[in-house]
């Protein structure tokens, strides 16, 4: 087999398309060499060798040694240098390179080939003894650490000791003689630690380094990084061996990194930093402050230190031309590493530049305008989830941060405010015009108003679909949830993590994008929606097939969603309307009523309120489809639990506290999520469904009259498992529609459909579709019931599942294609068998998740529905799924 690919001198055996085989670095070096760019010659040992290495007890294919030797001969021919030569020694770098970059995770060895003989030749050639011996001692240190397992710390101790003896502070103050002395110390250290002298033979050094780089594919850092970024183990790394060039050969030498456009703003201007007389590590290590590459950047920064454009004008001109050539060739922003050795430019790396969301939009739009990419390509280049950065305030990346806790990033955006431990406190602060962060062990529906009043929400319990998380995302409020390391003491008004205790009134900042809770008020950046954003979204809308609706329960959410481009409401959770303090007591009256007549009397009070809510939603949506779901949660959620509250509420309702207490006891359930909820409520109390349907139809008539455009409401029945359940409820809905029509003399159309959120419903979707005109997949409950995992308790143990790689992603965040997805597919097929034009949508949290949206496209759903702030993300993800 072919295990080694060479490059250099305007030729290469591979190209940029062979990332899988050559790694990102190797593939792009080959491409640059073929383009005739100045690349130091080298070879890439393929990722297949890595696979072989691990499958054969860490040994190599028999042909490898010969192929490496042949490649070394080519490098020697190109450079006029060879390994161990006493006059013209070849020195190489040995680097890792996976398919996608894993920055800093694997090992690198530089200056390989130096030994007691070649160091003298290097000194002679460079005309600089100090440079040569410094390079040698660096090499011994790096090689021993990476290959021989002698800890870097031991070398540093000797270095520090030497500086102390010489009474100097900086490495740069040590002389060539000092370095020579240190080299001898290092060599004895290696002999003592490993029982063998430091290897002098360059080929031995090379094979040691190759083995170490392959070995580093399985070091702890790399394993963790792969798990976090879902990079498969089997990919393996390539090893690139390349002739060294030196940026530290005096004042006409330099090294640097650059982007062909500004990666934080997207501005079309070369952007980067360099250091004169330095090696790559010096730029990264941040010991010396780098200088700007262009004059323009230097002036903008007000720096006194010369730009590369001024200091090394010829190398700069060549570099600029290379940048233009590479960007045009790859048709994307490049992130480059280069070295200048005595005025001669060498390119060491190029890759697609990582950029902020704002820059990504600008670059994509500019490149369309410049004729470099098509509109569809522009749409494909934006990471949908990254749009979150643009819709919410974010922590200023330059701000100082003191971490209090880190938990789940449950709802994006950053917020700062005073710590409050109750919803009442949050409301009190809000009415005083002060920002608050609501900190709770967990939230319940009673906290809705407090969550509204607060700038952000923090909980110590609950996962990504816990109440706090779902509601916060719906409101577009930052939320960090499930901080198991934090203990909240409501009585004392404190919360504690490790040694730090914060109290009510202290400031905290939460970052819902990272899950960080920070002490104090941290500086933030404001969101802004640019013209670039609008243009990309318009292109996305033109490209997508699926509609994007929103989950909205309030006029405020509905309006926000429309501004973000929602094309209707896919889920209105009517229960949220009952938690309003002005309404909840009417709801409680209904729950406490002893018979149907009593319930109807209480429901009559709720009817006008619901009608008003729905009228507003229909008006805001102005003719767009609106799906309203009948009451879903167990009634227990609406009545007070604590003694204090029971007394208060009993007084307000004018009933005996005992009655309330008994009712609460009677309604308590072991598994409320599997209990008396969903359509089961409508079966027990059809009058509730009748009141809600009446409110919907009367509102539809009222809104149609006001706006002049017809409203076609979609009435949705939750948690259906049996076709007969839906038939039972539908009969009530239809009868109510008939009654409203007769009473008002108005005709109107409406649809009745169901949520598919139980496996039984999915498997019997053909029968259910005889009475359902639409299905909306409630993938929150469907995930809960398919896995048998409680969505409110999952946070506690799914973390271990993710850490142990038992699952790749939280199934409540991204749809489980093999299980939940299979049920969705079955339901869609069966539903269409019965009713070919059945309308299919999704309204679980997955409706705003790009990977799940891609799945929805494959099933051919008509729309996805998500919280208002996810609407732009869903529009873009739906477009990408269609392209």
Show binding-site residues. Answer: 573, 629, 757, 778-781
In angstroms, the CA 220 to CA 126 distance is 39
Q: Which helix (H) or strand (E) covers residue 66, if one does? A: helix 64-79
Structure tokens belonging to residue 480 = 């960090």
For the annotated binding site for Mg(2+), the residues are: 757, 781
Element (H, E) at 345: strand 344-352
C-beta closer to ligand PEP: residue 634 or 850: 634
CB of 634 to ligand PEP, least distance (A): 11
CB of 359 to ligand PEP, least distance (A): 35
259's enclosing H/E stretch is strand 254-259
Q: How far is the CB of 780 from ligand PEP (least distance, A)?
A: 3
Q: How far is the CB of 811 from ligand PEP (least distance, A)?
A: 12
Would you count residue 778 as binding ligand PEP (CB under 6 A)?
yes
Number of residues that bind Mg ion (CB under 5 A): 3
Q: What angle do CA 568, 572, 573 make, to 5 degrees?
A: 165
- Residues 532 to 591: which contact ligand PEP by CB under 6 A? 571, 573
Which range, of 6-14, 606-614, 706-714, 751-759, touches Mg ion by CB under 5 A? Answer: 751-759
Of 69-77, 441-449, 777-785, 814-822: span binding ligand PEP (CB under 6 A): 777-785
Pairing of strands 344-352, 516-519: unpaired
Give CA–CA dist 301/293, Å, rounded.
12
Q: Pick the stretch among 303-311, 377-385, 642-650, 778-786 that binds Mg ion (CB under 5 A).
A: 778-786
The answer to whether the beta carbons of residues 541 and 534 sit under 8 Å apart is no
**Any contact of residue 474 with ligand PEP (CB under 6 A)?**
no
Instruction: Tell me the closest approach of the beta carbon of residue 677 to Mg ion, in angstroms.
Output: 9
CB 420 within 8 A of CB 429: yes
SS3 state at 675: coil
Write out the binding residues for ligand PEP, residues 608-647 only, by CB under 6 A: 632
Q: What's the min distance (Å) between Cβ of 674 and Mg ion?
A: 12
What are the helix and strand counts (H, E) for the chain?
36, 32
| Residue 857: contacted member of Mg ion, ligand PEP, none (CB under 5 to 8 Å, by partner type) | none
Q: With CB under 5 A as the contact rule, which of the stretches 16-24, 181-189, 687-695, 749-757 interacts with Mg ion?
A: 749-757
Please identify which residue in 844, 850, 868, 872 interacts with ligand PEP, judged by CB under 6 A. 844
Q: Examine the residue annotation and report whether 439 is marked as an active-site residue of this protein.
A: no
- Per partner kind, with CB cut-offs from 5 to 8 A, the member of Mg ion, ligand PEP, none near residue 570 is none
Which residues make up each annotated binding site for substrate?
573, 629, 757, 778-781
Over its C-alpha atoms, the chain yields an Rg (Å, rounded) of 33
Choose, from 50, 323, 479, 843, the residue flagged as catalytic.
843
Catalytic entry in 392, 467, 576, 846: 467
Residue 482: which of 450, 517, 448 has the closest Cα? Answer: 517
Strands (E), 606-694: 626-629
Considering only 229-237, 479-487, 701-709, 779-787, which stretch makes contact with ligand PEP by CB under 6 A?
A: 779-787
Residue 779 contacts which entry, Mg ion, ligand PEP, none (Cβ below 5-8 A, type-dependent): ligand PEP
Q: Is 413 in the site for ligand PEP (CB under 6 A)?
A: no
| Contact pattern for ligand PEP over residues 746 through 775, marking x by CB under 6 A | -----------x------------------
DSSP result, 480-493: EE--TTEEEETTTT
867 lies in the binding site for ligand PEP (CB under 6 A): no
Rounded Cα–Cα distance for residues 201 and 221 (Å): 30
Residues 687-746 that bind ligand PEP (CB under 6 A): none
φ, ψ of residue 81 to 5 degrees: the values are -125, 150
Between the CA of residue 523 and those of 419, 520, 870, what are the distances in Å? Answer: 17, 10, 25
**Residue 844 binds which entry of ligand PEP, Mg ion, none, with Cβ cut-offs from 5 to 8 Å by kind?**
ligand PEP
Does 778 interact with Mg ion (rule: CB under 5 A)?
Answer: yes
User: Of residues 341, 781, 816, 862, which one binds Mg ion by CB under 5 A?
Assistant: 781
Angle, helices 176-194/152-165, rounded to nearest 10 degrees: 140
| Chain CA centroid to CA 671, Å | 33
Q: Is 452 a catalytic residue?
A: no
Closest alpha carbon to 585 in 633, 643, 652: 652
Please say whether the beta carbons of 336 and 353 come within 8 A: no
Determine what percent of the chain falls in helix, strand and coil, rounding each to the nearest 5. Answer: 50, 15, 35
For residue 553, the partner it binds in ligand PEP, Mg ion, none, with Cβ less than 5 to 8 A by kind, is: none
Query: Which residues contact Mg ion (rule: CB under 5 A)?
Result: 757, 778, 781
Using CB under 6 A, list all residues that contact ligand PEP.
571, 573, 632, 757, 778-781, 843-844
The residues carrying an active-site annotation are 467, 843
């Amino acid at each position: 087999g072919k295990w080694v690919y060479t490059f250099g001198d305007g030729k290469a055996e591979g190209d940029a398309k062979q990332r899988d085989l050559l790694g990102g670095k190797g593939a792009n070096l080959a491409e640059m060499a073929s383009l005739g760019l100045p690349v130091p010659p080298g070879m890439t040992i393929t990722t297949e060798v890595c696979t072989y290495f691990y499958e054969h007890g860490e040994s190599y294919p028999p042909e490898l040694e010969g192929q490496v030797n042949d490649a070394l001969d080519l490098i020697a021919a190109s450079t006029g240098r060879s390994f161990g030569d006493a006059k013209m020694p070849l020195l190489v770098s040995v680097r890792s390179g996976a398919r996608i970059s894993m920055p800093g995770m694997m090992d690198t060895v530089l200056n390989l080939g130096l030994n007691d003989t070649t160091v003298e030749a290097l000194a002679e050639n460079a005309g600089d003894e100090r440079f040569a011996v410094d390079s040698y001692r660096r090499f011994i240190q790096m090689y021993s650490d990476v290959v021989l397992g002698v800890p870097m710390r031991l070398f540093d101790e000797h270095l520090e000791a030497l500086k102390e003896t010489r009474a100097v502070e900086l490495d740069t103050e040590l002389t060539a003689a000092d370095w020579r002395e240190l080299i001898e110390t290092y060599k004895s250290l290696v002999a003592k630690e490993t029982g063998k002298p430091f290897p002098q033979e360059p080929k031995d050094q090379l094979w040691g380094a190759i083995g170490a780089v392959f070995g580093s594919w399985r070091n702890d850092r790399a394993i963790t990084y792969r798990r976090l970024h879902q990079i498969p183990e089997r990919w393996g790394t390539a090893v690139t061996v390349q002739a060294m060039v030196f940026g530290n050969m005096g004042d006409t030498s330099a090294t640097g990194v650059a982007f062909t456009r500004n990666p934080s703003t997207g501005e079309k201007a070369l952007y980067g930093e360099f250091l004169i007389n330095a090696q790559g590590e010096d730029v990264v290590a941040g010991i010396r402050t780098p200088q700007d590459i262009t004059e323009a950047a230097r002036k903008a920064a007000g720096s006194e230190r010369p730009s590369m454009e001024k200091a090394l004008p010829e190398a700069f001109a060549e570099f600029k031309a290379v940048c233009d050539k590479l960007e045009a060739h790859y048709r994307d922003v490049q992130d480059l590493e280069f070295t200048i050795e005595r005025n001669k430019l060498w390119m060491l790396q190029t890759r697609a530049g990582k950029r902020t969301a704002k820059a990504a939009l600008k670059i994509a739009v500019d490149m369309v305008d410049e004729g470099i990419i098509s509109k569809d390509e522009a749409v494909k280049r934006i990471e949908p989830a990254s749009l979150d950065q643009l819709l919410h305030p974010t922590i200023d990346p330059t701000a100082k941060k003191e971490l209090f806790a880190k938990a789940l990033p449950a709802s994006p955006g950053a917020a700062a405010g005073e710590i409050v431990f109750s919803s009442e406190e949050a409301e009190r602060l809000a009415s005083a015009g002060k920002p608050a962060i609501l900190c709770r062990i967990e939230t319940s529906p009673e906290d809705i108003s407090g969550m509204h009043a607060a700038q952000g929400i923090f909980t110590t319990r609950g996962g990504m679909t816990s109440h706090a998380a779902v509601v916060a995302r719906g409101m577009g409020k930052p939320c960090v949830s499930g901080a198991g390391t934090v203990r909240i003491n409501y009585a004392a008004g404190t919360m504690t993590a490790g040694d730090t205790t914060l109290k009510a009134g202290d400031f905290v900042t939460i970052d819902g994008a990272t899950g960080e809770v920070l002490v104090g008020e941290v500086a933030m950046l404001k969101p802004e929606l640019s013209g670039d954003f609008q243009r990309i979204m318009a292109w996305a809308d033109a490209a997508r097939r699926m509609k994007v609706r929103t989950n909205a329960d309030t006029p405020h959410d509905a309006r926000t969603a429309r501004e973000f481009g929602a094309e209707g409401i896919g889920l209105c959770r009517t229960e949220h309307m009952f938690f309003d303090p002005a309404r909840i007591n009417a709801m409680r009256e209904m729950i406490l009523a002893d018979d149907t007549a009593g319930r109807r009397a209480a429901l009559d009070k709720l009817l006008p309120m619901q009608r008003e809510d729905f009228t507003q939603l229909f008006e805001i949506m102005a003719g767009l489809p609106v799906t309203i779901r009948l009451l879903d949660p167990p009634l227990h959620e609406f009545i007070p639990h604590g003694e204090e509250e029971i007394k208060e509420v009993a007084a307000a309702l004018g009933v005996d506290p005992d009655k309330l207490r008994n009712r609460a006891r009677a309604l308590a359930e072991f598994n409320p999520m599997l209990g008396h909820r969903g359509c089961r409520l409508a079966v027990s109390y059809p009058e509730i469904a009748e009141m809600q349907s009446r409110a919907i139809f009367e509102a539809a008539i009222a809104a149609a009259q006001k706006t002049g455009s017809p409203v076609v409401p979609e009435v949705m029945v939750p948690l259906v498992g049996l076709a007969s359940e839906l038939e039972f409820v539908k009969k009530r809905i239809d009868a109510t529609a008939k009654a409203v029509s007769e009473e008002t003399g108005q005709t109107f159309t409406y649809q009745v459909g169901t949520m598919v959120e139980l496996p039984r419903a999915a498997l019997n979707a053909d029968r259910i579709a005889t009475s359902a005109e639409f299905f909306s997949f409630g993938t929150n409950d469907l995930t809960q019931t398919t896995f048998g995992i409680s969505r409110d308790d999952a946070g506690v143990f799914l973390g271990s599942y993710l850490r142990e790689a038992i699952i790749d992603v939280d199934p409540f965040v991204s749809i489980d294609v093999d299980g939940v997805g299979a049920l969705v597919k079955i339901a869609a097929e069966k539903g269409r068998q019965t009713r070919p034009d059945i309308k299919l949508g999704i309204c679980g949290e997955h409706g705003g998740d790009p990977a799940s949206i891609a799945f929805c496209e494959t099933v051919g759903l008509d729309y996805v529905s998500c919280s208002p702030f996810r609407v732009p993300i869903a529009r873009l993800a739906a477009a990408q799924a269609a392209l």
